[in-house]
Amino acid sequence: MFDLPDSWVWDFWFADDGEQYHLFFLYASRALHDPERRHYRASIGHATSLDLVEWTRGPDALVRGDAPAFDDLATWTGSTVRHPDGTWFLFYTGASLSDG
């Protein structure tokens, strides 16, 4: 089972590349204390599994951008699709400091 005890984890999606499963998820540190603050500190994490039971966490798939990027406040939920030519795309939403 996938678990990050020091983080809030929510909004997740999967991709199957034919060899392993990829888990993408939003997460933020529990050090923020107030769970509502997680939405503005979210990153998109990544983990892989061969059996959907045992997971290996990898580097983050995405972290928020630098100002004035559209995601300079937070990255939010997304989806992953594979183009017929084999290229993978990860689409996601974000929030900007300029949004007020």
Q: Which two tokens stand for residue 7?
A: 């983080």
The pLDDT of residue 18 is 96
The pLDDT of residue 40: 74
**78 neighbors 13 (Cβ within 8 angstroms):** yes
- For the chain, the domains span 7-99
Each residue's pLDDT, cut to its tens digit, for the chain (100 residues) gives: 788 889 989 999 999 999 999 999 999 887 777 777 777 778 899 999 999 999 999 999 998 889 999 999 889 899 999 999 999 999 999 989 886 5
